[in-house]
Amino acid sequence: MRIDIISIFPEYFAPLGVSLIGKARERGTLDIRLHQLRDWAHDVHRTVDDTPYGGGPGMVMKPDPWGAALDDVLDADPAARPRIVVPTPSGVPFTQKLAMEYAAEPWLLFTPARYEGIDSRVMAEYGSRLRVDEVSIGDYVLAGGEVAVLVMVEAVGRLLPGVLGNARSAVDDSFAPGAMENLLEGPVYTKPPEWRGHRVPEILLSGHHGKIARWRRDEALRRTAKNRPELLSALPPEGLDKHDRALLSELAELAELGFPVGGQDVAD
Ligand code: 6GU
């Protein structure tokens, strides 16, 4: 997969040289190209922002440098067309589903902005010829889109074939389609079996694969009820077995009685 990133802070993307994503780049699975937006700003100060029409606080990114940068990056490979991703807190939510969609694209182009964002005519112009998504990574405001791009590139990159050591890791993700869709993963443990007086749940040491799978599912349901109860109402009923439904009604009852759902933190 090819990924282009146009930013006034290309140095922000140094972490993409590290760990899984860094290795994927070395292997050629990921071809990430960084561009300095100011290279397309031609006044002496290499200005990329200006005051907003209509007034208001902050500055808006000028359309000209973005247009020139995008044209050059697009024209370098006229046979192909990237999907353009514009990070903005006003965008559609970035989800595992969107990450999977992006992982199937041959070419992504990210345009992280600073200030109050990019002049909207840029998105209108390229949106008439290419797929342009305005995407948010959550309900909070960052100082710029760079960190959001790091988040999205990592979420997409780990889904590419061969990037994760263990192919099942991505299959079992909390938000991946399948039996665990919209369920949070439960707690995990490794050696030693006892640490500072805390024992690993005995079932995990038992070797009973069926019982372990059931226990893990119970813990996933408990944790989801406690941390993300709104996800439970989105679970498809046909994805729940008798045992799931019994546990969920027990958890719902506890919640209605004012007990914390999830069992472990009785002190909450
Ligand atoms: Cl994509 N950008 C900025 N600046 N803030 C955000 C965001 C993006 N997503 C959530 N907050």
Three-state secondary structure string covering 91-116: EEECCHHHHHHHHCCCEEEECCCCCC
**Cis amide leading into 192 (omega within 30):** yes
Same domain, 70 and 105: yes
Domain of 209 in residue numbering reads as 171-257
Q: What is the pLDDT of residues 16-57, one digit of tens each?
A: 999 999 999 999 999 999 999 999 999 999 999 999 999 999
Mean pLDDT across 104-131 = 97
pTM given for the model: 0.93
Which of 132, 165, 198 is where one domain is finished? 165
Identify whether 81 is part of a domain.
Answer: yes
CA distances from 112 to 12, 88, 108, 207, 245 (A): 11, 8, 13, 49, 44
181 and 155 in a common domain: no
Residue 174: pLDDT band by 50, 70, 90 thresholds?
confident
- β-pairing, 49-50 vs 60-61, is antiparallel
CB 85 within 8 A of CB 109: yes
The rounded Å distance from CA 148 to ligand 1 centre is 6
Tokens of 51: 């005051």
Q: What is the pLDDT of residue 268?
A: 43
Q: Is 137 annotated as a binding residue?
A: yes
**How many domains does the chain contain in total?**
2
CATH number, domain with residue 20: 3.40.1280.10
Q: Tell me the per-residue pLDDT of 223-263, one tens digit each, with 9 for 90 and over.
A: 999 999 999 988 888 889 999 999 999 999 988 876 666 54
Domain boundary among 135, 165, 195: 165
233 in the same domain as 159: no
The per-residue pLDDT of the chain, averaged, comes to 93
Residue 267 lies in a domain: no
**pLDDT at residue 265, rounded to an integer:** 47
Which listed residue (4, 133, 134, 173) is catalytic? Answer: 173
Domain identity same for 107 and 204: no
Among 119, 133, 134, 158, the one annotated catalytic: 158
